[in-house]
Amino acid sequence: MLPSSIQISGEPLSGAEVRDICRGLRDNAVRLLSLRGCRLCDRDFGRICRALAGATSLAQLNLNLGVVSSPSRIKQLAEALRTNRSIQSLFLHGSPLTDAGLALLNPALALHPALVALDLGDCMLGDEAINLICGLLPPDGAKSGLKELTLSANPGITPKGWSRLAIAVAHSSQVRVLNLDYNPLGDHVAGMLAVAVASSRTLEVLDLEGTGLTNQSAQPCGASCWLRTALAQSCNSRSVTSCLREKRRKRWQEGLLTPRNGGEGESLLPTSGVAAPGSAPVIPILRWC
């Protein structure tokens, strides 16, 4: 039987439903498990974590909107991730992790061989968390490093933390998609991001919506993107308009929530391809307001 998906949103999970989920994970019949905003007791959460630890078919795990709501659950999830080898995308948007919680989770994230997409938006993170996240970016041995990172709506991160992230993205990362929307970045941080965009060989999508950027700071970011893309040997065959439309479609389709716009980013990796002969290079996507 081909792996399928289990998607439940905002509902209390009964014991029978938890048993079915665990059975599907143990039988390697689940490729996508989404329990965003679901309510379940600590015992049932632990049962699911133990089941996903040995799952070899699970590629995407969505625990957005408060499912991972306590230090004990963070520890259980970390223990599962230490054993699991298949999860490629982990979404924890809207979980009250804080820096301390991410410190508990970080060793498992750092050692996971398959993880390439991580959503830590609206997780009450600060500068200490940024230091940990920067360690997840570069490829290391069997690990490819993160290719998609979401840090939306974490206003506790200071300009010092963002500068540390900008340096990491510029010099040692494989990041293709970086979502920083709804953080109070301002022009100073924008200048550092412009340098990161110009230096990075991989960054394709930078989401700066709702970050307080002015036209003065937006222009250098766009110029840096164009310069880097024009010098690239190859580029992806896509358009800015279609990619933004696809992002909005996914947000509305999933019904995801953020503090301001009612939408939360899921996987936004653009489709890879080769530019048509003679076509102009495609400018990496930037959004600001």
H or E segment to which residue 208 belongs: strand 205-208
Q: What per-residue confidence (pLDDT) applies to 143?
A: 73
Note the pLDDT of residue 257: 44
Give the phi and the psi of residue 143 in degrees, each rounded to 5. Answer: -85, 140
Worst-scoring range by mean pLDDT, 131-135, 212-216, 253-257?
253-257
Confidence class for position 230, pLDDT limits 50, 70, 90 = very low
Average pLDDT over residues 204-232: 63
- Give the pLDDT of residue 180: 96
Eight-class DSSP state of 70: S
Residue 64 has pLDDT above 60, yes or no: yes
HEC states along 214-227? CHHHHHHHHHHHHH
Cβ contacts of residue 150 below 8 Å, gap of 6+?
Answer: 93, 118, 119, 120, 121, 179, 265
pLDDT of amino acid 37: 97
Report how far apart, in Å, the C-alpha atoms of 112 and of each of 80, 107, 115 are. 11, 9, 6
Tell me: pLDDT of 217 over 90: no
CA 131 to CA 133: how far, in whole Å? 6
- The region of weakest confidence among 37-41, 103-107, 172-176, 263-267 is 263-267
Q: pTM of the prediction?
A: 0.78
- 267 closest CA partner among 3, 129, 41, 87: 87
**Mean predicted confidence (pLDDT) in 15-38:** 96
Which of these, 138, 211, 120, 130, lies nearest to 163 by C-alpha position?
130
In the predicted model, what is the mean pLDDT of residues 57-75?
97
What tens digit of pLDDT does each residue of 121-141 get?
999 999 999 999 999 998 766
pLDDT of residue 218: 57
pLDDT > 70: percent of the chain: 72
In the prediction, which pLDDT does 73 show? 98
| Residue predicted with more confidence, 190 or 23 | 23
pLDDT of residue 254: 46
- In 3D space, the residue among 241, 242, 267 whose CA is nearest the CA of residue 253 turns out to be 267
